[in-house]
Amino acid sequence: MAAVLFRFGAFILLCSAMCLRPGWAADESDYSTATRAEYVFACMATNGGTQDALKRCSCAIDVIATLLPYQQYEKAETVLRMRRNSGGYLGQEFRSAPANEMVRDLEEAQAEAEVRCF
C-alpha cells in the first residue's frame, strides 16, 4: 500500500514540479531546491507526514537525482502531465516510443529509490 501511495505522490509531485522555476542550481543537470522540496512534500503527504517519511522521501529524491539528470526528469514529468491533460492528436504525441522511454527511465529511477529508501 505504501508503494502505491509513494508512486501516486511522486506523480502528483512531478505534475507540480514544472510550475517551479526559482532556485536553480548552477549545473543545468542538477535539480533545483524547489523541485526537491516539492517532491519531498508530496511524498511525505502520501506516506504519513512523519519524520521517518521525511527521511525516506529526501533519500528518494536524492537517489532519483543521481540516476536521472534534471533535464530528463523534467521531460518525463512533462510527458506525464501532458498525457493526463491532453487528448486526441496532441495526447498521442506524448504516447510515442520516445515519450514512453522517457517515462520508463523515470519509473526505473523511482523504483530504485523505493528499493534504497523505503
The pLDDT of residue 69 is: 97
The pLDDT of residue 55 is: 98
* Grid coordinates given for 84: 493526463
State the angle between helix axes of 70-85 and 97-117 in degrees (0 to 180), rounded to the nearest 10: 110
Question: How far is residue 74's CA from residue 15's CA, in Å, rounded to a whole number?
Answer: 10
Residues, the chain: 118
Question: How far is residue 53's CA from residue 45's CA, in Å, rounded to a whole number?
Answer: 9
Question: How far is residue 55's CA from residue 30's CA, in Å, rounded to a whole number?
Answer: 20
Q: Which amino acid makes up residue 73?
A: Y
Domain parsing of the chain, residue ranges: 2-117
The pLDDT of residue 8 is: 46
89 against 84, higher pLDDT: 84
Task: Report pTM.
Answer: 0.72
Question: How far is residue 111's CA from residue 109's CA, in Å, rounded to a whole number?
Answer: 5
Mean pLDDT for 28-52 is 92
86 against 100, higher pLDDT: 100
Using alpha carbons only, give the angle 15, 63, 61 rounded to the nearest 5 degrees: 35
- pLDDT above 90 as % of the chain: 60
